[in-house]
Amino acid sequence: GENVEQHPSTLSVQEGDSAVIKCTYSDSASNYFPWYKQELGKGPQLIIDIRSNVGEKKDQRIAVTLNKTAKHFSLHITETQPEDSAVYFCAAMGTSYDKVIFGPGTSLSVIP
Amino acid sequence: DAGITQSPRYKITETGRQVTLMCHQTWSHSYMFWYRQDLGHGLRLIYYSAAADITDKGEVPDGYVVSRSKTENFPLTLESATRSQTSVYFCASSAAGLNGYTFGSGTRLTVV
């Protein structure tokens, strides 16, 4: 079945540095890749997404890249701030909603 | 306010009791989902619904029942709660097509 791997599981960066989280997926039919941010005690929040016909998408300090050939996609956060500290989940979506697979999450800590 | 709301926020129940978790969304999203989040297992799909009166099983449906008589409501019922159902439960909604999910704030359920 579909599998989504996510690395690293934990990440600590100094405020102002960049953070990169990488995900790989196994189902070549996946064609939509959202990223979620989950703060402590809250539900996951969609922060950016990318579709299979696009290689890169940016929204202010965050960007996502997609390599369909290699079946991996990455989240890039530049100029990190303490409020970026959270757990980040990637996901891969394909042909049906019961096939949506979330990655295991990355706990990002931004050290002031 | 527009959004997706879950109730209760916290619930403690005894083994064998029936408990219902409520989910209400105001966007008229056609799709609604129930996930459970556990350490070491990430987000796992319990049930989902494509429209009123249409529901389908997810990855971990055993012990749960759902209904969707109205588009905006998607209650999740644990018919006879077990300790293994202690978890944080998230409801989510999505417009049709490949779109990101909007999650509720979650219900932390403890079965004693």
Note the pLDDT of residue A2: 74
Instruction: Indicate whether A97 pLDDT > 80.
Output: no
Q: Nearest-CA distance from A17 to chain B in Å?
A: 27
Res. B1 pLDDT band, cuts 50 70 90: low
pLDDT, tens digit (0-9, with 9 covering 90-100), for B47-101: 999 999 999 999 899 999 999 999 999 999 999 999 999 999 999 999 887 788 9
| Mean pLDDT, rounded, of chain B | 94
Report CA-CA distances (Å) from B100 to A10, A50, B12, B47. 24, 10, 31, 17
| Mean pLDDT, rounded, of chain A | 93
Mean pLDDT of A29-47: 94
Lowest mean pLDDT among A41-50, A77-86, B37-46: B37-46
Q: Which residues of chain A neighbour B90 with C-beta distances below 8 Å?
A: 43-44
What does the DSSP assignment read for chain B?
--SEEEE-SEEEE-TT--EEEEEEESS--SEEEEEEEETTTEEEEEEEEEETTEEEE-S--TTEEE--SSTTB--EEESS--GGG-EEEEEEEE-SSS---EE---EEEEE-
Note the pLDDT of residue A1: 63
Q: Which residues of chain A neighbour B61 with C-beta distances below 8 Å?
A: none
